[in-house]
Amino acid sequence: MDEQIDIQRNAYREEAYELLAELEQALLELEEVPDNEDLIGRVFRAMHTIKGSGAMFGFDDIAGFTHEVETIYDLVRDGKMQVTKELIDLSLASRDVIAEMLGASKGESPVDAERCGTIIAALKQLMPKHPVAERPVSEALPFADAAFIPQQDDLPAVTYRIRFRPAKDIFAFGTNPVLLLEELSRLGEWFILAHTEDVPMLSDIVPESCYVFWDIVLTTDKGINAIEDVFIFVADSSNILIQVIDEGDEVDKEADYKKLGEILVERGDLNSDDINRMLDGRKRIGELLTAAKLVSPDTIESALAEQAHVKRIRQKRQETVGKASLRVDAEKLDKLVDLVGELVTVQARLNQQAAVSGMAGLLLIAEEVERLVSELRDNTMSIRMRPIGSTFSNFKRLVRDLSETLGKQVVLNTEGGDTELDKTVIEQLNDPLVHIIRNSIDHGIEAPEARKRAGKPAHGTVTLSAAHMGANVVIRIADDGAGMDAIAIRKSAVAKGLIPADAALSEEEIFGLVFAPGFSTAQTVTDVSGRGVGMDVVKKGIENLRGAIDIASVKGGGTTITLKLPLTLAIIDGFMVKIGNEFFVFPLASVEECVEIPKSQMDKVRKRNMMNIRGSVVPYQSLREIFSINGQPPAMERIVVAESGGQRVGFGVDGIVGQHQTVIKSLGKFYRHINGISGATILGDGTVALILDVVQLINAAEKQSRFDR
Amino acid sequence: MNSEISPSKETSVVALTGELTIMQAAELKKRLTEALNSAQSVQVHIGKVINVDLTCMQLLCSAHRTAFVRGKQLSIVGPVSPIFRKMIDQTGFRRTHGCSFSPNSNCLCCGLS
């Protein structure tokens, strides 16, 4: 009985976390478009569900707290309260409290009751003394264009309502509004209607003036930025209103859309009182309104067109996104991947045995098994893949809060959000990314006045981008801030004794110094970062994922940090080599080439730990030496040239076996700290091959060479 | 822009050719005014128009409602060049019903595409 309850409570918690994410997203969007009924509805529904289910499963504290917030949004929904920045702030704080309550229910630290009380009191303060009868016209919240422009891409196809009223003398400025409309039409599916109500009689008309304004309903996935860009040069003189009327992602919404009257009221074309008066009669509202001369037929037609357009879009969406999705326990998925890994290993053994036996029938079957296992492997790996976009979205809140705390204006742009990565990689990326973004905003982006003085726009931009490149995913965090000061870094490194005062370092190497433990050039340690523990932990985190991190910077221009990560953790393409009786595996991605050095030259190479490949000097290390393998080396040594972080090293091995699909098994706790080995794999005949940690080996080689100098 | 006005007490024909842009707008206004002054019904031919912009679309609209107010008629007659048709679509001048000025009449551009 208890177990049942536990399962249900866990299920509630999972659902609640999802709802909280949706709530946060909706709140952030609502800050942008404060009178958007859909967004208000989303916020209300999320809270309503959290409250209801919470009460059902015994989460009384959550239910009670959420009830208070839900009450406020009920008032907002009815038009009795306005959405203000203060309300959004309090709502986000409430969201955080609910998240903490969920954690507390799992055994984490309890929530501060006083804080809850403060938030509730503040919310109650916002409630109106006398209810407001009509929904007031919204004004842009002060932060609307400062910290917060929605991400550039990976938006679903959102539908906007645009009213474009050009200045009367727009032609005199050389602008042809028709060209702007053409640009808009290229953004997606649209419906456009010209309003000619203001066109005067021939006797009065000034031919060079513009009397026409437009209603446009546009469905596009290019984001609101793209729309605003179209009007960028006329934004000051013309009247432009852009509203979101369909978010493009809610499939379970009915395909039906707002009633005509609702649309007209939303657009400000009609007073809700008039609608109610009209509805007391029986005719269709469009006819009634036109007949009563409350609105022009144009206006009706335009609103009807919007209705039809959005209905159509929604229907289309319901059809295409019919594909079902399923929630799966993460543990079950991990088990599945494990089993597939085992299967790959056993299949390798089957291949070997079949080859040895020489039986044609068996060989055929083994081939078929190999094919199926390969497909199963690909399929399972892809299940674990998630688009990184959801991680990127989480940073919206971070950027918003940080900007406020630090008094800076920062815009977060994202690109390539649909790039997919292994689920574990994404989870482990979160902390490093948070730290890098924090650094960008804290140390990189300058305060608005400083930026203006430098001739930059007052708001700084942080761009997160992700893209597949070969077997890797490349993630870039770029800012247009102050960039890194190589001289200051060098000074600080010398002062800390990290490098000798006369060391000759390239700019790239100087930037690399920030990854040293205990490094920080911040004059004052802010609350946010600058304690100097950050970047080296970030680097370790990335290397744990078998990835690489790189910094590029232009002083005064900005900094770009590039992360290169492998697509999957569990199975990699390996390059197997043999030393003595032992087998080792290089990650294929880090192998550049193989060379042979004749025995006559080998002595020189071994002595100087250096070799000449086509004219360039490449460091040399003998793996036999590194791993102290007994026995006699063969006459001809093979060199595997591996690369990491731009640095190449040639590793001497006895022989090369070749490419090998490597299922990674981690070494036990006992062996985990061995330098140069990152894991192990089981070969077809049951022997164990060790997987080389190329990054560590190359770092060690470098330290050694500096030591030798 | 070339226009010939063939006057007759009943019907005046304004045949427009060439460019109908802001450069020709003032002249178009004059021509349309004259046509409406001189006849009961005005027919506008646009088949030979090679370019039209918003200013002239506006003028045609204005002429249409001016005619209505005076109890006269103004209509677009004859073949519609693809340029004109594209303009109507791109600028949302296409109407399915109703004129913004006189709800019970048809828009000048009704049935043109």
Residue A133 confidence (pLDDT): 40
Q: Taking the mean position of all CA atoms in its chain, how far away is CA B57?
A: 7
Per the DSSP assignment, residues forming a β-bridge with B16 are B3
Contact A199 B61 (CB under 8 A): yes
Residue from A95, A104, A223, A105 nearest A153 by CA: A223
Q: How far is A417 from chain B (nearest CA, A)?
A: 33
Contact A202 B63 (CB under 8 A): yes
Structure tokens at A116: 């809850």
**Closest CB to B66 among A202, A212, A290:** A202
Question: Tell me: the pLDDT tens digits for B47-63?
Answer: 788 888 888 888 988 88
ipTM score assigned to the predicted complex: 0.85
What's the CA gap between B94 and A317, in Å, rounded?
A: 27
Structure tokens at B92: 């949302």
What's the CA gap between A437 and A479, in Å, rounded?
A: 9
Residue A421 φ then ψ, to 5°: -135, 160
Residues in chain B: 113
Residue A365 reports pLDDT greater than 90: yes
Q: What is the DSSP letter of A488?
A: H
3-state secondary structure A312-357: HHHHHHHHHCCCCCCCCCHHHHHHHHHHHHHHHHHHHHHHHHHHHH
Residue A282 confidence (pLDDT): 54
Residue A509 confidence (pLDDT): 80
- Reported pTM: 0.47
Q: Which residue has the higher pLDDT, A491 or B4?
A: A491
Per the DSSP assignment, residues forming a β-bridge with A680 are A665, A690
Structure tokens at A117: 């009380």
Residue A95 confidence (pLDDT): 92
Question: Tell me: the pLDDT tens digits for A292-345?
Answer: 777 777 788 888 888 888 888 777 766 655 556 777 787 888 888 888 888 888
Q: How many residue contacts between A and B have a Cβ separation below 8 Å?
A: 99
Contact B96 A301 (CB under 8 A): yes
Contact A203 B66 (CB under 8 A): yes
What residues of chain A lie within 8 A of the CB of B25, using their CB?
207-208
Question: Tell me: the pLDDT tens digits for A15-71?
Answer: 888 889 889 988 988 888 888 888 888 888 888 888 888 887 888 888 888 888 888
Q: Are B74 and B62 in contact (CB under 8 A)?
A: no
For chain A, the average pLDDT equals: 81
Residue B109 confidence (pLDDT): 65
User: Is the CB of residue A635 less than 8 Å away from at least one CB of chain B?
Assistant: no
CA-based end-to-end distance of chain A? 71
SS3 at position A296: coil
For chain B, the average pLDDT equals: 78
CB within 8 Å of chain A, chain B residues 34-73? 36, 53-55, 57-59, 61-63, 65-66, 69
Give mean pLDDT, residues A179-206: 87
SS3 at position A390: helix
Question: Tell me: the pLDDT tens digits for A414-468?
Answer: 888 888 887 778 888 888 898 899 888 888 888 888 888 888 888 889 999 998 8
User: Is the CB of residue A290 less than 8 Å away from at least one CB of chain B?
Assistant: yes
Per the DSSP assignment, residues forming a β-bridge with A594 are A640
Question: Tell me: the pLDDT tens digits for A65-111?
Answer: 888 888 888 888 877 888 888 889 899 999 999 999 998 888 888 88
Q: What is the DSSP letter of A171?
A: G
Q: How many C-beta neighbours within 10 Å does residue A643 have? A: 16
What's the CA gap between A20 and A66, in Å, rounded?
A: 11
3-state secondary structure chain B: CEEEEECCCCEEEEEEEEEECHHHHHHHHHHHHHHHHHCCEEEEEEEEEEEECHHHHHHHHHHHHHHHHCCCEEEEECCCCHHHHHHHHHCCCCCCCCCCCCCCCCCCCCCCC
What residues of chain B lie within 8 A of the CB of A171, using their CB?
22, 54-55
CA quadruple A289, A292, A298, A301: dihedral, nearest 10: 20
Residues 6+ apart with CB under 8 A from A589: A470, A471, A472, A566, A572, A573
Angle at A120 between CA A92 and CA A398, to 5 degrees: 15
User: Is the CB of residue A167 less than 8 Å away from at least one CB of chain B?
Assistant: no
Contact B32 A201 (CB under 8 A): no
Q: Which residue has the higher pLDDT, A489 or A523?
A: A489
CB within 8 Å of chain B, chain A residues 173-192? 176-178, 181-182, 185, 192
**Closest CB to A201 among B57, B65, B90:** B65
Per the DSSP assignment, residues forming a β-bridge with A242 are A162
